[in-house]
Chains A and B, each alone.
Chain A
Amino acid sequence: MTKTKTLLALALIGVCATASARGDIEMLARTCNGCHGVGGVSVGLSMPSIGGLPKEYLRNIMKQWKYDERSAITMNRIVKGLSDDEIDALAAHFAKQRWVPAPQQASAALLAKGKSAISENCEDCHGFTGSDPDVDAPRINGQWAKYMELELAKYRDPRFKMPHRKMKKAAQDMKPAEVPAAAGYFGAQDK
């Protein structure tokens, strides 16, 4: 029995070895599902959706984490174990997925406040609903608001290493009360 198991295992390894890199990436990407959801569509409040984000953006930030150019709470540790090639492949993989917004409920007052905050400071790079981002920015329509709030806090806090100067400045230009409003506004958008 053990022998058969061993044989089977060997056979599997052989299959894996001959399997395409694509299969490898599928496997690797599956390790992300636990937190980011199937196909990068997250279900958790403080966990971001990553499926369908621009390839360049994904690759960029993962490399920044890997080389300690960017602060994170969890991801920097995960990314450290990946090679540059794996990062590239993962970025390509998730970029190919469909962006599935998760529009979240928000009060009309919050939405109104958020709308005025973002049209002053954020729209120019993210678009009116967050679905029309500038070349180097991710989509944020229907991104999880809680996550965005945390992320914005990082951009606003000078102790965090966040390399994008302009996004950082935009975040810092907000009044504290505008942060949840902006996050809530973008999180509520489905398109």
Chain B
Amino acid sequence: MAARNARGLFAGLAAAALIMIAGAAAAAAAGAAPTTTVPTTGTPVSDPRTTGAGEATASPPPPSIANHRCLRCHADPLEKEVIQPDGRRKNIYMDPEVFKHSVHGKVACNGCHSDVTKLPHKKPLARSIGCIECHQQQRDKLKDDPDPKKRERLDIVVQQTDNYLHSAHARPNPKDQSRVNAACHDCHDAHNIGKPGELARAEHRLKNPEVCGRCHDKQKTDYLGSVHGKAVVEKKDEKSAVCSDCHTTHNIVSPKTDPMQMAITRNCGDCHKNARKTYMASYHGQVNQLGYANTAKCFDCHSGHKMQKVDDPTSTVHTNNRVESCKNCHKNATASFLAFQPHGDPDNREKYPGLYWAKRFMQVLIFGVMIFFWVHVLLWLYREAMDRIRGKGFRENLDQPDIVYFRRFSPVWRWIHALFAISTMVLILTGTSLLFSHTDWAKAVVVFLGGPKMEGIVHRTAAVIWLSIFLFHLGVVTRNIWRARKTFAWFGGTSLVPGLNDLKDLKNMFKWFLGRAERPEFCHWTYWQKFDYWAPFWGATIIGTSGAILFMPEKTAAILPGWVFNIATLVHAEEALLAAVFLNTVHFFNVHFRPERFPMSTTIFTGAIPIEEFKHDHRLEYERLVALGELEKHLVRRPSRRVDLASSFLASVLIIAGLTLLTLVLYGLATAN
């Protein structure tokens, strides 16, 4: 998405986060195990040679019949064909030169053709060649060999034969169940198997469409007309995709199955690296990466065997045909879909300037905010810690616990905050499980929720609640201001509107951090509280607007051009990340974790703050109220034990949930490539 790069850098910063980093590391270690079993394609011809590994296969079984005796008939160029007893002609020729250079060049003929035990042999000869068993045995022989290199290649062969055994080709042929759909020799010319890097392999590769096409005729015809097919057949371009590059070599199962569709999608990216990167960052790709095949995959848009370049008028993604292709899934796709960039790359300034600058803007915002506040957090922590050591600072008097509390929040704000917090967390969880679809936790979350569709529903439900609360809060604010319109002070310590005094407070706070002044005194709202208010305000606007656009993409696409979705997706994700990290680090520290408050403050749940604490944090407000003689109006009794317990419990749950989310997000950021 937006910020692959940003995430990398971000992850660097995240390392500085004092909280949870150990947890993230542990999670990273746990998640390092291989996650998927779906195969990738076989070793491409361009792979570096595995030196000497080929010889490993060539330790021949004791030859009971010397090869030259077989070659008398089977390498006679003048009589390549014989007439079999049943009257059929059969080519029995094998080029001895070719064979000599194959990996099996030193193996006795009847090492594989093992039912030839004497000459002359039976005709016709049954095809009973135990490729799989033999490779297994050869590998087992080398099991205890100290040089793993010798085994390396055989390990791959055995792995591949194992894959084969689980593939569709190893299943009984529906028309004749005594045969498998395709056996080793149907695809491999066993007398001409090259070592990696050898010509024989390149030839085998170029022959791949022909070999598969022996059975898959229609697919072959389609393929030969495609860009890939033309490149392979006409230009002999061995880098262009052949069947096995997409379908895998041995683990082939029906392309109608999800795992195969996903494997094919990933395999496209073995060559089209950038396309895969941008695809995986899009919603289509995120769902795919989570393990579901129900969003568009490469071949859904580009078509599979008939694939053409985008500027080819017969291509399914050509401008003239693209909307039709979109309609395969998005029934109501309109021409504005054309402006959507399914592979939009926010790091490519020439091609996607809008996305590029949107990403830069978001990055500056994220880094600016996070760096500033993390420094703020660290210094504050340092100052309070130092004060504590010196016996200074605010401390609860345990001999005389407060029984008088100051009422700071009316029930409506407490409810708004609680619901907002809960829905935000749900949104973070369901949103980042898409954003970090590469992680195991994301996959587990989505499975837990019942798949990406359910996840979408949960996210949208939480979003509706979240946005409703935001709008409701706007209503309450307007009402409150309206009611107090005569006396309402827009600026100053009792208003949330930031003013110059906040800048001054900030400056003095830093002085205090550095030990150059006393702690400044605050009125009703401190500057960090104002920031805690306005940051989500801004966030809600950005996330809300972009989220609304993404809410019903087909409907919005009827009004807005497609590129808006690119921007909205990017901005939505970046802003949400900022919010997730900010809330669960800076906000948590300011409110709960700084030594004066540790482990938590329940004021937002009980609505009341101990009077001493209030005096300490909001002395100006206290003095102002005392001077006005209004303090009494705001004083309440200490919350009951039950209310206290309940709110501590709620705060604990939310804090733990928040820290867990933070861990997941940091882990996601750290592991994003």
Do A and B make up one complex?
Answer: yes
**Interface of A toward B, CB cutoff 8 Å:** 123-128, 132-135, 137, 165-166
- The reply to whether A166 and B76 form a contact with Cβ atoms under 8 Å apart is yes
Q: Which residues of B contact A125 (CB under 8 A)?
A: 119-120
CB within 8 A of A135: which of B76, B118, B119, B123? B123
Q: Which residues of A contact B72 (CB under 8 A)?
A: 124, 166
CB distance from A69 to the nearest CB of B (A): 16
Q: Once the chains are docked, how many angstroms separate the CA of A127 from the CA of B120?
A: 6
Given A123-B119, A127-B119, A165-B78, 14 more contacts at CB 8 Å? A124-B69, A124-B72, A124-B119, A124-B120, A125-B120, A126-B120, A128-B118, A132-B118, A132-B120, A135-B85, A165-B79, A166-B72, A166-B73, A166-B76
Q: Which residues of A contact B118 (CB under 8 A)?
A: 127-128, 132
CB distance from A134 to the nearest CB of B (A): 4
Q: Once the chains are docked, how many angstroms separate the CA of A90 from the CA of B21?
A: 97
The A/B interface has a contact count, at CB < 8 Å, of: 26
Show 23 A/B contacts (Cβ-Cβ < 8 Å), sorted by A. Answer: A123-B119, A124-B69, A124-B72, A124-B120, A125-B119, A126-B120, A127-B118, A127-B120, A128-B118, A132-B118, A132-B120, A133-B120, A134-B120, A135-B85, A135-B120, A135-B123, A137-B120, A165-B78, A165-B79, A166-B72, A166-B73, A166-B76, A166-B79
Q: Which residues of B contact A132 (CB under 8 A)?
A: 118, 120
In the complex, the 6 A-B pairs of residues with the closest C-beta atoms, listed nearest first: A134-B120, A124-B119, A124-B69, A135-B123, A125-B120, A135-B85
Q: Once the chains are docked, how many angstroms separate the CA of A128 from the CA of B120?
A: 10
CB distance from A4 to the nearest CB of B (A): 54
Q: Once the chains are docked, how many angstroms separate the CA of A133 from the CA of B122?
A: 10
| 63-83 of chain B: CB within 8 A of chain A | 69, 72-73, 76, 78-79
Point out which of B72, B119, B120 has the most chain A C-beta atoms below 10 A from its C-beta: B120
Interface range on chain B (Cβ under 8 Å from partner): 10 to 19
Q: Once the chains are docked, how many angstroms separate the CA of A125 from the CA of B73?
A: 10
Q: Once the chains are docked, how many angstroms separate the CA of A134 from the CA of B76?
A: 16
CB distance from B75 to the nearest CB of A (A): 12
Majority-rule SS of B interface residues: loop
Q: Which residues of B contact A124 (CB under 8 A)?
A: 69, 72, 119-120
Q: Which residues of B contact A123 (CB under 8 A)?
A: 119
Closest to A56 in B: B85
CB distance from A140 to the nearest CB of B (A): 13
Closest to B65 in A: A124
Q: Which residues of A contact B73 (CB under 8 A)?
A: 166
CB distance from B569 to the nearest CB of A (A): 72
Q: Once the chains are docked, how many angstroms separate the CA of A124 from the CA of B76?
A: 15
CB distance from A55 to the nearest CB of B (A): 12
Q: Once the chains are docked, how many angstroms separate the CA of A123 from the CA of B119?
A: 7
Q: Once the chains are docked, how many angstroms separate the CA of A128 from the CA of B85?
A: 22
CB distance from B632 to the nearest CB of A (A): 118
Q: Once the chains are docked, how many angstroms separate the CA of A14 from the CA of B118?
A: 54
Q: Once the chains are docked, how many angstroms separate the CA of A8 from the CA of B120?
A: 55
Q: Which residues of B contact A165 (CB under 8 A)?
A: 78-79
| 119-152 of chain B: CB within 8 A of chain A | 119-120, 123
Q: Which residues of A contact B76 (CB under 8 A)?
A: 166
Q: Once the chains are docked, how many angstroms separate the CA of A165 from the CA of B79?
A: 10
Q: Once the chains are docked, how many angstroms separate the CA of A165 from the CA of B119?
A: 19
Closest to B85 in A: A135
CB distance from A45 to the nearest CB of B (A): 28
Q: Which residues of A contact B79 (CB under 8 A)?
A: 165-166
Q: Which residues of A contact B85 (CB under 8 A)?
A: 135
Closest to B84 in A: A135
Interface bits B318-348 vs A (CB < 8 Å: 1, else 0):
0000000000000000000000000000000
Closest to A123 in B: B119
Closest to B123 in A: A135
Q: Which residues of A contact B123 (CB under 8 A)?
A: 135
Interface bits B586-622 vs A (CB < 8 Å: 1, else 0):
0000000000000000000000000000000000000
Q: Which residues of A contact B78 (CB under 8 A)?
A: 165
CB distance from A130 to the nearest CB of B (A): 12
Q: Once the chains are docked, how many angstroms separate the CA of A173 from the CA of B95?
A: 22
Q: Which residues of B contact A135 (CB under 8 A)?
A: 85, 120, 123
Q: Which residues of A contact B120 (CB under 8 A)?
A: 124-127, 132-135, 137
CB distance from B620 to the nearest CB of A (A): 111
Q: Which residues of B contact A137 (CB under 8 A)?
A: 120
CB distance from A126 to the nearest CB of B (A): 8
